[in-house]
Chains A and B, each alone.
Chain A
Amino acid sequence: MNFKRFGAPVALVAAAALALTGCAANEAGGGATDEAATGLSGTLVGGGASSQQAAQEAWVASFQTANPDVTIEYDPAGSGAGRDTFIAGGSNFAGSDRAFKDEEIAGDFASCVADTGIIEIPAYISPIAIIFNLEGVDSLNLDAATVAGIFSGKITTWNDPAIASANPDATLPATPITPVHRADDSGTTENFTDYLHAAAPEAWVDEADGVWPLEGGEAAQGTSGVVDTVTGGTGTIGYADASRAGDLGTVSIKVGDEYVEYSAEAAAAIVDASPFAEGRTDGDLAIELDRTSSEAGVYPIVLVSYLIGCSEYQDTEAGALVKAYFSSIISEDGQAISAEAAGTAPISSDLFDKASAAVESIK
C-alpha cells in the first residue's frame, strides 16, 4: 500500500473522528435542568444494574451539564456486583434490580455511618411487553396461566382453545408457537418469571430467576436478540422492554376481569398499587410488587430498579452529591430524560413525594 497516497486522507479522517467524539461527550441530555450553578464538585462513583445503563448515561450527562465540576461514573456491572461493591464501600451509590433483603440491611455498609440505614428509591420503572409475530394478528388477550403455558411449552399451537377462547375476534392459524427467551442472565427474565410464578403458580412452578429456568424454547442474546428473533421468525413470542416492541404484536394481560395493554401509566400504576415492604426505615422505599393485583388499569409485568444510597454518609461531600444527583433523577425532568433514553415509565406524583422526602433525608 502506498502510504504517501493514502496516509494524508486517513490521518485527516482520524483527526476528524477524534475531534467529533470530543464534541459529543456531554451533549446527550439536551433537556438539562437549567438550575443556577450549584457549586457542587467532586466525583461520584456508582455501579450496578445493567438495565439502568441507558438511563444512567442520560441522567449523568444531564447532571454533569448542569454541574460541570461534578463527575459521575456508573459501572453497569450487574445488580449483584453493584450491591456487593456498595456494601464494601467501593461505590457511593448502587443501582439494583431488587431491593436489599432484610438480613443484608442488618449488616454494615462501609460508606455509611454505622446503624443509620440506607435509602432505596424505585426510580426506574420499565414495563415489559410480551411481543409476538403472527400474521394477521396485532394484539392478543391472554391471562397469566396461558402465558405460562405458552412459555413452558404446554400450549404449542396458536389456535389452542386457551388462546382462542380469550380472543374470539382474532383469526388464529394452526402455526406452531416458538417461545423466545433471553439467553443471558437478566433482570427482565427475573421480573417476567416472577410475574408468571406469582400470577399462575400452578402453570409456572419455578421461582423467579434471572436465568431462564427451563430447557427448550428459543434462546436469544439480549433485548435486541429477542426482538430480532421474534421479528425474524414465524409464530414467535417473546418478552422485552416495552420501548423496544416496535411494530410487533403485543399481548394485553388479564388483570382482574379486564385485559390491560402495557403503557407507561399502567406500569407506574402497579407500583402505586403495591405496598411498601414492611419493617423498613423511612427512606427505604422497597416495594413488594403485587403482581396479582386486580385493580383496574395496572400492568403487572414491570421491571423496577432501585437507586440505593446511604441515609447518612461518612463522607458528607459524597452525601451532598448523591442527594443532588438522586433528586435530579426523580424530578419530572429526570424521569422524562430516562423515558426518552430508555423507555421507562415516569414515577407517579405520589411516589415522587415519598421519594423526594427520602432523598431530602440524605445526609
Chain B
Amino acid sequence: MTRKILALSVLFSVLLLSLTSATFAAGSEAEGGEDPTGFIMHHIKDSHEWHFFNVGHTHVTLPLPVITYAPDRGLEFNMSTDFQNHETHLFGKEYAHDGIYIDEHEHLGRVDGGTIYDFSLTKNVAMMILVIGLVLYLILSAANHYKKHGAVAPKGAASWVEPVVVFVRDEIAEKSIGPKYKKFVPYLLTLFFFIWIGNLLGLLPGAANLTGNIAVTFTLAVLTFIIVNVNGNKEYWKHVFATPGVPVALLPIIVVVEFIGLFTKPFALMVRLFVAITAGHIVILAFIALVFIFESYAIGVVSTLMVTFINMIELLVATIQAYVFTLFTAMYIGGAVAEHAHDDHH
C-alpha cells in the first residue's frame, strides 16, 4: 500500500515538475527573454491572477476578483482580466479600467492619482481559502469522530490529527507555558495546522507561496503579539518597565531594550517563517531555472534530482517551521504568564 502511494506520488511529482518547468519555459518566452529573477519573483510573490502554466502561447490562469475601496468611490468589484492584456496576461497602466489600473509590479492605483485601497482576492487569498478549507475539512472530520464515538481510540482522520494535537498540547503548550497552558492550546493548534498545511500546499507546483508571504506571517505575528501582551501578568510588565536586579543608572537603557524586545520577538517570528519558506521556494525555482539557462539535458537531469532532494528537505522545513512558529509563540506566552521570579537570567 505504502509502496503504491510512493510510486504514485513520484509519478505525480514528475508530471507536476514537468509542468512547472513548462511554465518557466513559456513564461520566460512570454516575458521576452531569459529572466530567471523575474520568473522566480513571479512565483513567490502575490498576484492579482492565479497563473498556472502556459501551453504554447496560451496562458492557463484563474482570473481573480479585484476588490477596491476608495473613500469617494466606495467598494468596487472587477475581475483581474479587466486590467490586463488578454494575449500576454501582462498588467500595466495602459490597461486601466474604469479609472483604476494595476501596474506591471501589480500595484493597484488610480489614474487620477487619488487614494484607493486594494482588497482584491489575490492568488494568496485564494490559496489561503484553499488552506483554510483543507484544514477545516481535516480537523472537522477528525472532530466528528469524537462527537460520534465519544472518548474512544481514534480512527480515520482522528488517528492522523490526534497525535499532532497531543504533541502540540503536551510538547509545545504544556512544556513552554506551564500550568496555565490550557487556555492557549486552541490558538496554538490553529496556528500549527494553518502554517503546516499552508507550508505543505505551498510546495505543490502551481500553488501560491502563502506562508512565505510577509503579509501572512505579519498577521500571524501580530496575533501572537496581541495574545502575549494581553495575557502578560504583573511580573511580565514589571520585567519590562522596572527590570529587577538592574542598577538604577542602567534602568533607562534596559527599559528601552526591553521595550524594543516586546516588538522584536514577533518581528523575528514574522521574518523567520517568511524567509524559511520563501528561501526554499527560491532554491527550488533556481534549480529549475538552471535548466533553461544552460539549455542542457545533463543539467536537466541533475536539476531534477536536486529539485527532488530540496523538495524533500522542504517537506521537513514545512513541518519544522510550523513547529518553530508555534513553539516560539508558546514560549513568549509562557514568559508572559509565568509566575516565577525573572531575576535569575540576564
Binding between chains A and B: no
B: which residues have CB within 8 A of A? none
A: which residues have CB within 8 A of B? none
